[in-house]
């Protein structure tokens, strides 16, 4: 991490302290809104954060996983309510990894300047991101002579911010195997709806497509070859957000333990509380090490990057959920109230942990990558 | 610091050149495999340490004035990498890592000249006298007394958990010079001749059945006052001294060592056809994550020191991670072996000379020695997280 990285972190942290304090998070949450328009405009325009990982020739800043990770770590701490993760970390990184010039030229500039929100839709009923389990299908639209028009049919679930995204990148089976298809909001036969789900600060949606017109992304490439590494970028980004959330849970717990008095002394002076907090610090710091290693390995195209990304996600999934649960426990009764933010972190933590499938599944993938 | 040395430090040797020079030396002078006969091992190790010293390859973090190399932190990291790669014996006793930094920082010139070079050369073996039967985690309550009589101190009491005590020539000890209640304000740092009249070393059999540790008894042992480091009653402050970040310089090697151990266990499980089992694979996956994070933490700590001179929070918690890993991997290995895991090394059916069972027993000490896990968690909570001190405990 360089001095520029420290500066980026500081700028994002200050912005979020000002613009996404707890009461703002709760206002958006209660209203069921996906973002505050002014905050989105500032973070896209003034701070340029939506373009941080978009190549310069498509209007972005041309940075990569390291810088995006820093931004997400801070956003995870603040529980920012915005379609940033879906748009930038998921769709933006997947598009940029596709190598499809036409698709990148068409959509990346909108992602970079914040005018377009987007997401990636893979999982179906089974909740799995394994390409092998996909049942949605794509057929060439016969009306299109050039052959770049497709019609996609199927139902996607657990799509992050899928009910508001302007662009949906949908995985579906073409006659030649699984492929990625771009569907724009407003397309015929597209229906999206927010799901009633645990995380109140990040929505999951169902996406139904009925012969919905779509554009194939990275046609002619073996999807498994390029999409899996792109998913690894998404995992590392989510891990960064998770470790930011875990660190904030620890901060909340420590701050409370310093001032809350029982038996005539601060509860943080009791060993039982101290040990909980120190054990959480261990998890947070190990999580940070895993995240920083993964983003640097991805940025440098290191051979161990896929393993590092999966490891960071598996470790930080646990760390964040542990931290969120302990944060509630250390707060005692007040931690069990709706008014306290502790449950918002628990909701985000568990939701992030299960987003790509059962945790046992991600550990199996990790074992495969490690050659165990 | 002289002008000459500053100039030498500015025109630093390039990393690659230093590595090549060190590797060449370690290859040319390699002492070979350790002798089979345990009684030949001590002189063999001493001969190697003398070779290192005589050619200027000892004491990477020590000042040149006392025979050290005075390396930059980056070169210290390289030094530890190359020494681990060469698989040559390490230092004898605990003086080099624990006592030397205190003496270098707080010793008088005469003391440094008298003690440091012979310690580094392996001519004189230094062992620690801190813990006592009644002073473990609560070390400031120690009771071994040193009574001043003219130019001497008269030492009485008992120390315990001293490693290498059987080979020790000098004991660096914390002794009570203040009142019994004075705690850390009445402790003095004293260097005691292990061969002096009244010093008795008694081997202590630990739970592994081995004799790595000893108890030391002091019965009216007369120690010259010139052997006191720092002022009387000021020893506590001096005891925990390190030279810059020297301890972090070997962190990558430690990580590489655990990596090797886990790989060896994976190979064993593969040979025995146990990796097909999903539960076993998941346990391995967990250890795999942890062993890699041990390395990531080491890399992060080292790059933090190189970039900004700050080891950061990862270094404060890495020992918690490592000690739990050591214990878990050995217990898991024993479990994997089933009843065969119970066999000692003289049983003909023992797997890999019973290394995993030995490790399972030995690593009970990992979360006790050099501060129990519980005390360490308290320290992290108070010093890193800023949680309040327990009012029921004596002040730090």
Distance CA(B101)–CA(B146), nearest Å, equals: 23
What three-state secondary structure class fits A366?
helix
In this prediction, residue B11 carries a pLDDT of 56
Q: Specify the DSSP element, H or E, that contains A28.
A: helix A22-31
Give the per-residue pLDDT at A144.
56
A184 with A167: CB under 8 angstroms? yes
Inter-chain contact B377–A274, Cβ cutoff 8 Å? yes
Of A254, A285, A370, the CB nearest to B288: A370
* CA–CA distances in Å: residue A233 to residues A68, A151, A278, A293, B336: 10, 28, 30, 13, 35
Which residue of chain B is at minimal alpha-carbon distance from A315?
B289
Q: How many CB pairs under 8 A join A and B?
A: 118
The dihedral region occupied by B247, where left means phi > 0, alpha psi between -120 and 50, and beta the remainder, is alpha
Query: pLDDT tens digits for A306-355?
Result: 999 999 999 999 999 999 999 999 999 999 999 999 999 999 999 999 99
Q: Name the band, by pLDDT with cuts 50, 70 and 90, for residue B12.
A: confident
Query: Does the beta-carbon distance from B390 to A286 stay under 8 Å?
Result: no
Rounded to the nearest angstrom, the minimum Cα separation between A280 and chain B is 10
Mean pLDDT of chain A: 96
What is the mean pLDDT of the segment spanning B226-241? 95
What confidence tens digit (pLDDT) does each residue in A82-125 have?
A: 999 999 999 999 999 999 999 999 999 999 999 999 999 999 99
B136 Cβ contact partners less than 8 Å away, ≥ 6 residues apart = B372
**What was the pLDDT predicted at A72?**
98
Would you call B391 and A265 a contact, using CB atoms and an 8 Å cutoff? yes
Owner of token pair 């645990």: A198
> Residue A235's pLDDT is what?
98
In this prediction, residue B370 carries a pLDDT of 86
Q: Chain A residues contacting B, CB < 8 Å?
A: 1-2, 250, 254, 257-258, 265-266, 268-271, 273-275, 277-279, 281-282, 285-286, 288-290, 292-293, 308, 311, 314-315, 360, 363-364, 366-367, 370, 372
Q: Label the pairing between strands B126-129 and B187-193.
A: unpaired
Q: How far apart are CA A297 and CA A300, in angstroms?
A: 5
Please give the Cα distance from A320 to B245 (Å, whole number): 31
Percentage of chain A modeled with pLDDT above 70: 98
Give chain B's contact residues with A (Cβ, < 8 Å): 266, 275, 281-282, 284-286, 288-289, 292-293, 296-297, 299-300, 307, 313-314, 316-317, 320-321, 374, 376-378, 380-382, 384-391
SS3 (DSSP) at A293: helix
Q: What b/e readout covers B276-296, taking b as 16+ CB neighbours within 10 angstroms?
A: eeeebbebbbbbbbbbbbbbb
Instruction: Assess whether pLDDT exceeds 60 at residue A21.
Output: yes
For A228-232, which contacts have Cβ atoms below 8 Å and span 24 or more sequence positions?
A228/A131, A228/A306, A229/A97, A229/A305, A229/A306, A230/A93, A230/A94, A230/A97, A230/A98, A231/A94, A231/A129, A231/A356, A232/A298, A232/A305, A232/A306, A232/A309, A232/A310
B308 — pLDDT class (breaks 50, 70, 90) = confident
CA–CA gap between residue B112 and residue B95 (Å, rounded): 13
Inform me whether the pLDDT recorded for A148 exceeds 90: no
pLDDT on residue B244: 86
Are the beta carbons of A271 and B390 closer than 8 angstroms?
A: yes
What positions of B carry a catalytic annotation? Answer: 246
Q: What is the mean pLDDT of residues B117-144?
A: 96
CB-count burial class (<10 Å; 0-12, 13-18, 19+) for B143: middle
Chain B hits for A265, CB-CB cut-off 8 Å, are: 388, 391
> Phi/psi of residue A339, each to 5°?
-65, -30
- Interval B186-200: pLDDT, tens: 999 999 999 999 999
Least CB–CB distance from A372: residue in B284, B381, B384: B284
Instruction: Return the structure tokens found at B169.
Output: 């020539």
**3-state per-residue secondary structure call for chain B:** CCHHHHHHHHCCCCHHHHHHHHHHHHHHCCCCCCCCCHHHHHHHHHHHHHHHHHCCCCCCCCCHHHCCCCCCHHHHHHHHHHHHHHCCCCCCCCHHHHHHHHHHHHCCHHHHHHHHHHHHCCCCCEEEECCECCECCCHHHCCCEEEEECCEEEEEEEEEEEECHHHCCEEEEEEECCCCCCHHHHEEEEEEECCCCCEEEEEECCCCCCCCEEEEEEEEEEEEHHHEECCCCEHHHHHCCCCCCHHHHHHHHHHHHHHHHHHHHHHHHHHCCCCCCHHHHHHHHHHHHHHHHHHHHHHHHHHHHHHHCCCHHHHHHHHHHHHHHHHHHHHHHHHHHHHHHHCCCCCCCCHHHHHHHHHHHHHHHHHCCCCCHHHHHHHHHHHHCCCCCCCCCCCC
Interface contact B317-A367, CB threshold 8 A: no
Residue B312 is predicted with a pLDDT of 87
Nearest CA distance, A248 vs chain B (angstrom):
13
- Return the residue of B nearest to A284 by Cα: B314
In a mutational test of the A interface, the residue from B278, B282, B285, B298 whose CB has the highest number of chain A CBs within 10 Å is B285
Residue showing tokens 């019609």: A151
Encoded tokens for A174: 């073409």
State the pLDDT at residue A218: 96
Dump pLDDT digits (tens) for A227-259.
Answer: 999 999 999 999 999 999 999 999 999 999 999
- In this prediction the ipTM stands at 0.94
Task: Assess contact for A163 and A203: CB atoms under 8 A.
Answer: yes
Query: How near does any CA of chain A get to the CA of B302, in Å?
Result: 12
What single string gives the DSSP state of each residue in A139-158?
Answer: EE-TT-TTS-EEEEEEEEEE
Q: Once rounded to an integer, what is the mean pLDDT over residues B137-159?
A: 97
Q: Per-residue pLDDT tens for A255-274?
A: 999 999 999 999 999 999 99
pLDDT tens by residue, B328-382: 999 999 999 999 999 999 999 999 999 999 999 999 999 999 889 999 999 999 9
CA-based nearest residue to B92, from B121, B61, B62: B121
> Which residue in chain B is spatially nearest to A261 when comparing CA positions?
B388
Shortest CA distance to A215 belongs to which of A154, A151, A172? A151
With 70 as the cut, is the pLDDT of residue B9 above it?
A: no
User: Which tokens is A63 given?
Assistant: 């940075």
Comparing A141 with B192, the larger pLDDT belongs to B192
Closest CA to A237 of A87, A116, A368: A87
B285–A370 C-beta distance less than 8 A: yes
* Mutation site for A-interface testing, chosen from B283, B308, B317 by largest number of A Cβ within 10 Å: B317
The CA distance from B256 to B291, in Å, is 9
Average pLDDT over residues B67-82: 94
Question: How many CB atoms are closer than 10 A to CB B1?
Answer: 8
Among candidates A254, A311, A363 on the partner chain, residue whose Cβ is nearest the Cβ of B385: A254
Determine the Cα–Cα distance for residues B213 and B203; give it in Å rounded to an integer: 6
In the predicted model, what is the mean pLDDT of residues B292-299? 96
Which residues on chain A are in Cβ contact (under 8 Å) with B323? none
Q: Sort out which chain A residues have CB atoms less than 8 A from B282's CB and list them.
A: 360, 363, 367
Average pLDDT over residues B290-308: 94
CA distance B386 to B396: 14
Tell me: pLDDT of B98 over 50. Answer: yes
Spatial CB neighbours of A180, under 8 Å, sequence gap ≥ 6: A94, A98, A169, A170, A171, A216, A217, A218, A223, A227
Q: Is the dihedral of CA B342, B344, B348, B352 positive or negative?
A: positive
Per-residue burial over B92-105, b = 16 or more CB atoms within 10 Å of its CB, e = otherwise: bbbbbbbbbbbbbe
Structural element, H or E, at residue A233: helix A223-259
Percent above pLDDT 90 for chain B:
86
> pLDDT category, B243, cuts 50, 70, 90?
confident
pLDDT level of residue A143 (50, 70, 90 thresholds): low
CA within 13 Å, CB half, A233: 29
Mean pLDDT estimate for chain B: 93
Using CB atoms within 10 A of its CB, is residue B303 exposed (0-12), middle (13-18) or buried (19+)? middle
Residue in A220, A217, A201, A218 with CA at minimum distance from that of residue A86: A201
């Amino acid at each position: 991490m360089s001095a520029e990285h420290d500066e980026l972190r500081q700028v994002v942290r200050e912005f979020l302290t000002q613009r996404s304090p707890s009461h703002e998070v709760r206002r958006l949450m209660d209203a069921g809104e996906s973002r505050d328009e002014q905050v989105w405009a500032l973070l896209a325009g003034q701070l340029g954060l939506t373009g941080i990982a978009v190549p310069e020739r498509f209007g972005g800043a041309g940075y990569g996983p390291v810088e995006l990770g820093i931004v997400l770590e801070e956003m995870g701490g603040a529980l920012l309510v915005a379609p940033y993760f879906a748009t930038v970390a998921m769709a933006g990184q997947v598009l940029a990894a596709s190598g499809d010039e036409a698709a990148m030229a068409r959509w990346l500039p909108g992602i970079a300047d914040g005018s377009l929100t987007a997401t990636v839709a893979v999982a179906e009923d089974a909740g799995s991101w394994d390409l092998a389990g996909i049942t949605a299908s794509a057929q060439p639209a016969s009306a299109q002579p050039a052959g770049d028009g497709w019609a996609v049919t199927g139902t996607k679930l657990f799509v992050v911010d899928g009910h508001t995204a302007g662009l949906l990148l949908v995985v579906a089976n073409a006659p030649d195997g699984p492929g990625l298809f771009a569907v724009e909001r407003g397309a015929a036969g597209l229906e999206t709806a927010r799901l009633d789900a645990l995380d109140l600060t990040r929505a999951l949606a169902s996406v139904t497509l009925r012969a919905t017109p779509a554009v194939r992304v990275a046609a002619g490439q073996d999807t498994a070859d390029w999409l899996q590494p792109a998913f690894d970028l998404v995992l590392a980004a989510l891990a960064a957000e998770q470790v930011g959330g875990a660190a904030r849970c620890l901060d909340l717990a420590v701050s409370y333990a310093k001032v809350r008095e029982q038996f005539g002394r601060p509860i943080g002076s009791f060993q039982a509380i101290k040990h909980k907090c120190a054990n959480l610090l261990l998890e947070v710091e190990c999580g940070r090490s895993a995240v920083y290693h993964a983003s640097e390995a991805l940025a440098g195209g290191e051979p161990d990057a896929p393993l590092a990304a999966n490891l960071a996600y598996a470790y930080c999934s646990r760390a964040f959920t542990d931290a969120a649960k302990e944060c509630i426990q250390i707060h005692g009764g007040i931690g069990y109230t709706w008014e306290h933010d502790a449950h918002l972190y628990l909701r985000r933590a568990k939701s992030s942990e299960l987003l790509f499938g059962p945790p046992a599944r991600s550990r199996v993938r990790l074992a495969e990558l490690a050659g165990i | 610091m002289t002008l000459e040395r500053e100039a030498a430090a500015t025109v630093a040797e390039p990393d690659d050149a230093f590595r090549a020079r060190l590797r060449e030396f370690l290859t040319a002078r390699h002492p070979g495999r350790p002798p089979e006969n345990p009684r030949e091992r001590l002189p063999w190790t001493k001969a190697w340490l003398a070779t290192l010293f005589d050619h200027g390859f000892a004491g990477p973090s020590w000042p040149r004035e006392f025979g050290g190399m005075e390396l930059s932190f980056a070169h210290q990291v390289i030094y530890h990498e190359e020494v681990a790669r060469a698989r040559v014996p390490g230092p004898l006793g605990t003086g080099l890592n624990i006592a030397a930094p205190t003496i270098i920082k707080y010793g008088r010139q005469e003391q440094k000249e008298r003690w440091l070079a012979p310690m580094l050369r392996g001519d004189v073996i230094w062992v620690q006298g801190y813990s006592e039967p009644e002073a473990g985690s609560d070390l400031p309550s120690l009771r071994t007394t040193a009574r001043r009589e003219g130019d001497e101190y008269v030492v009485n009491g008992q120390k315990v958990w001293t490693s290498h005590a059987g080979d020790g020539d000098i004991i660096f000890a914390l002794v009570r010079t203040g009142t019994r209640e004075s705690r850390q304000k009445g402790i003095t740092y004293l260097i005691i001749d292990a061969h002096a009249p009244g010093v008795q070393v008694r081997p202590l059999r630990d739970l592994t059945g081995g004799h790595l540790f000893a108890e030391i008894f002091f019965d009216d042992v007369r120690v010259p006052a010139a052997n006191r480091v720092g002022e009387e009653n000021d020893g506590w402050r001096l005891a925990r001294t390190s030279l810059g970040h020297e301890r972090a310089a070997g962190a990558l090697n430690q990580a590489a060592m655990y990596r090797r151990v886990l790989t060896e266990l994976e190979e064993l499980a593969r040979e025995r056809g146990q990796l097909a089992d999903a539960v076993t694979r998941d346990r391995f996956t967990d250890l795999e994550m942890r062993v890699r994070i041990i390395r990531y933490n080491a890399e992060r700590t080292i790059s933090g020191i190189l970039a900004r001179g700050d080891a950061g929070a990862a270094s404060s918690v890495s020992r918690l991670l490592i000690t739990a890993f050591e214990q878990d991997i050995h217990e898991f290995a024993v479990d994997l072996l089933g009843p065969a895991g119970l066999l000692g090394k003289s049983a003909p059916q023992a797997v890999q000379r019973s290394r995993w069972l030995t490790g399972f027993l030995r690593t009970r000490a990992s979360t006790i020695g050099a501060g129990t896990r519980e005390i360490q968690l308290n320290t992290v909570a108070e010093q890193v997280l800023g949680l309040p001190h327990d009012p029921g405990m004596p002040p730090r």
